[in-house]
Amino acid sequence: QKEVEQDPGPLSVPEGAIVSLNCTYSNSAFQYFMWYRQYSRKGPELLMYTYSSGNKEDGRFTAQVDKSSKYISLFIRDSQPSDSATYLCAPLPPNAGNNRKLIWGLGTSLAVNP
Amino acid sequence: GAVVSQHPSRVICKSGTSVKIECRSLDFQATTMFWYRQFPKQSLMLMATSNEGSKATYEQGVEKDKFLINHASLTLSTLTVTSAHPEDSSFYICSARDPPGIRNEQFFGPGTRLTVL
């Protein structure tokens, strides 16, 4: 089993739709969960991250972690064409030190159609 | 957020030549930098982790003699692809992590697209 599973899509939605992007992970020790957005031919940019279980909201984006089911979600409200990108979930292992390596999902390709 | 730059953004070279890619953290000191490679429609693959002033730690299957990494200062790391071949053509992305106790976030450069003819 891969450490992080993410449906690559593509996911196509109309403008204004609520988008749900999801990941599952296998290591119950993960505590930080990052969501990155990557536009075509660009480096990823950190959207938001959550620690342990719970929700975190930032504007139109809400990140949700359910550690009991090892399930991570990112919701985008009122989706815009500019949200069209690949969204990558990346848990951060809990081992100490600055060399901690992000564990990357495959990324979900999202297209928001005007 | 913090800014990480990469240079060049795109390079085309002949097979057998060496290519150097620079990664700079512009407004923070990065004790740790990471180098990734990404093929089309695939996720990021970590190649190596470099700490300022010490040798890089390479991931399994990555040839350290082919992908030379130097992290000589807290704001600069370089990746040199030696004797490049067409199969080395890829999108190379660096990231930098700010020191522990600050934000401990990882910021990515814009990537370098390498095409080896």
Contact A110, A13 (CB under 8 A): yes
Which chain A residue lies closest to B99 (C-alpha atoms)? A98
Predicted pLDDT of residue B97: 84
Which chain A residue lies closest to B92 (C-alpha atoms)? A43
Residue A84 has pLDDT above 80, yes or no: yes
Q: What is the dihedral of CA A24, A26, A31, A33, to 10 degrees?
A: -30
Contacts of B41 in chain A (CB under 8 A): 8
Contact A98 B111 (CB under 8 A): no
Task: pLDDT tens for chain B, 117 residues: list them.
Answer: 678 999 999 999 999 999 999 999 998 888 889 999 999 888 899 999 998 888 899 999 999 999 999 988 889 999 999 999 999 999 999 999 876 655 567 889 999 999 999
How many CB atoms lie under 10 A from the CB of residue B23? 28
Predicted pLDDT of residue B28: 85
| B99's tokens | 């020191």
Contact A44, A36 (CB under 8 A): yes
| pLDDT bracket for residue A97 (50, 70, 90) | low
**What is the rounded CA–CA span in Å between residue A85 and residue A103?**
19
Contact B93 A44 (CB under 8 A): yes
- Average pLDDT rounded to a whole number, residues A59-79: 95
Predicted pLDDT of residue A99: 66
Contact A72, A20 (CB under 8 A): no
Q: Helix or strand or coil: residue B46?
A: strand
Of A45, A98, A99, the CB nearest to B108: A45
- State the smallest CA–CA distance between residue B87 and chain A in angstroms: 18
- Average pLDDT rounded to a whole number, residues A38-62: 91
% of chain A surpassing 90 pLDDT:
65
Residue B106 forms contact with A (CB below 8 Å): yes
Predicted pLDDT of residue B102: 55
